[in-house]
Amino acid sequence: MAKRDLRFYWKLFSSTFTLSAFTFGGGYVIIPLMRKKFVQQYHWLEEDEMLDLTAIAQSSPGPIAVNAAIIIGYRLAGMLGALVAIVGTVLPPLIILSVISLFYQAFRANQVVANVLRGMQAGVAAVIVDVTVTMGWGVAKEKNILSILMMAAAFVATYVFNVNVAFIVLACGLIGFLCFRQKKSGEVSK
Amino acid sequence: MIYLQLLWSFFQIGLFSFGGGYASMRLIQNQVVTLHHWLDMTQFADIITISQMTPGPVAINSATFVGTHIAGFWGSIVATVGCVIPSCIIVIALAKIYTKYRQLDAMQAVLKGLRPAVVALIASAGLSILILSLWQGGAVSWSPASIDWICAALFAAALFILRKWKPNPIWVMVGCGILGACIFPFVG
């Protein structure tokens, strides 16, 4: 384990900062990069410990990159480590988006930018529809009636009735807790 | 007062967004557009678009943007802190449970229940942005004149390319942006 002096905190901060600043494509991309840095380069963590930490980061609510930073920082150096890692991870998007929001009005009023954004919106819609189809197909393939019904009901609730998303998440989490835990033996026989 | 509202809204976004950035979009839309009217749908879609092009989680990006937009520098800090607090508490609690029991059985069951919800949330956010794109924020109707056919064509082409060749989504969006910049000046 690394010595927790100022140098260690600086290394933790600068590595989370650079990882966050140069990782495009969200939480699923940053985790393998963190593994490379903290396991293979710095040897701060063991390989299988990193796998466990990843599982926790992905199981928790909130941005996966932030979760991963918290748990790695916490594991290495307790609360202070978690804090340093969070600040390192959050600063790059905070700085970039602050600059963008300052110039947003002028930026949006520019005709070229407006055209680019208009085209990109169609692209973003396609990306999200693509993700939906892939993930929806994944759920449908399990052939679990309850899951499919929940998917349909959750969609109607949020899209048609504008139900607060928090309630939908709570309800589905509760149903999962109640129904999917006991079903384990049934699943094996399928 | 606005700081408290921002903190509470983004606290909820942090607390209930499971399943990564795409799923959190609906939650952000719910809080920021539907409940508080801090952004309109076009601004929200802009944030999603910008978030896809910049590093960092969508939730943090929108916290910064909405915070700055509503209450300046401190607004962005407060919203970001609100967004991160639930993660801190839950991740550390789970880490403690995990090191003690080495099993997250109940958590796995909860996550299995959340997966269909996550798909539904992503689908709704996608549909909102698709409708915004095809009707450019105007009323939704089936009359051909009201539809932005260029956006529809870009959408269809992008979806086809994504399904068929599975490229990095960033390039698909950049391509749509460049095509938009080239085509829209000539057709309005």
Render pLDDT for A117-160 as a digit per residue (tens, 0 to 9): 999 999 999 999 998 999 899 999 988 999 999 999 999 999 99
More confident of the two residues B162 and B138 = B162
- What residue type is B51 in one-letter code? S
Mutate to test the interface with A, among B31, B89, B107, B110 (most CBs of A within 10 A): B110
Token reading at B146 = 């009201």
The reported pLDDT for the residue numbered B29 is 94
Length of chain B: 188
The reported pLDDT for the residue numbered B151 is 95
Contact A116 B181 (CB under 8 A): yes
| Cα–Cα distance, B170 to B16 (Å, whole number) | 26
The reported pLDDT for the residue numbered A188 is 44
Residues in chain B closer than 8 A to A141 (CB atoms): none
Please provide the DSSP assignment of A74-104 as one string.
HHHHHHHHHHHHHHHHHHHHHHHHHHHHHHH
The reported pLDDT for the residue numbered A23 is 79
Token reading at A103 = 């110039």
Residues in chain A closer than 8 A to B117 (CB atoms): 150-151, 154, 168-169, 171-173
The reported pLDDT for the residue numbered A189 is 38
Which residue in A111, A127, A174 is closest to B162 by CB distance? Answer: A127
| Cα–Cα distance, A152 to B116 (Å, whole number) | 8
In the predicted model, what is the mean pLDDT of chain B? 90
**% residues pLDDT > 70 (chain B):** 98
User: Once rounded to an integer, what is the mean pLDDT over residues B111-117?
Assistant: 89
pLDDT in tens, B1-57: 899 999 999 999 999 998 778 889 999 999 999 999 999 999 999 999 988 888 889
The reported pLDDT for the residue numbered A3 is 63
Token reading at B162 = 């994504």
Q: How is residue B140 annotated by DSSP?
A: -
Q: Given a cut of 70, is residue B88 above it in pLDDT?
A: yes
Report how far apart, in Å, the C-alpha atoms of B136 and of each of A18, B17, B45, B145 are.
37, 28, 11, 12
Token reading at B17 = 């967004």
Q: Given a cut of 70, is residue B135 above it in pLDDT?
A: yes
The reported pLDDT for the residue numbered B95 is 84
Length of chain A: 190
The reported pLDDT for the residue numbered A92 is 95
Residues with pLDDT less than 50, chain A? 183-190
| A173: number of Cβ within 10 Å | 21
Contact B68 A102 (CB under 8 A): yes
User: Once rounded to an integer, what is the mean pLDDT over residues B79-103?
Assistant: 87
Which residue in A52, A90, A173 is closest to B113 by CB distance? Answer: A173
Residues A89, A94, A96, A101: what is their CA dihedral angle, to the nearest 10 degrees?
160
The reported pLDDT for the residue numbered B103 is 65
| Cα–Cα distance, B120 to B26 (Å, whole number) | 9
Q: Are B80 and B61 in contact (CB under 8 A)?
A: no
Which residue in A55, A152, A166 is closest to B12 by CB distance? Answer: A166
Q: Chain A, 153-182: which have a CB under 8 Å from a chain B CB? A: 153-155, 157-159, 162, 164-166, 168-177, 179-181
The reported pLDDT for the residue numbered A186 is 46
- What residue type is A100 in one-letter code? I
Report how far apart, in Å, the C-alpha atoms of B94 and of each of A132, A183, B18, B87 are.
28, 23, 15, 10
Cα-Cα end-to-end distance for chain B: 43
Q: Give every CB contact of residue B163 below 8 A, 6+ residues apart in sequence.
A: A130, A133
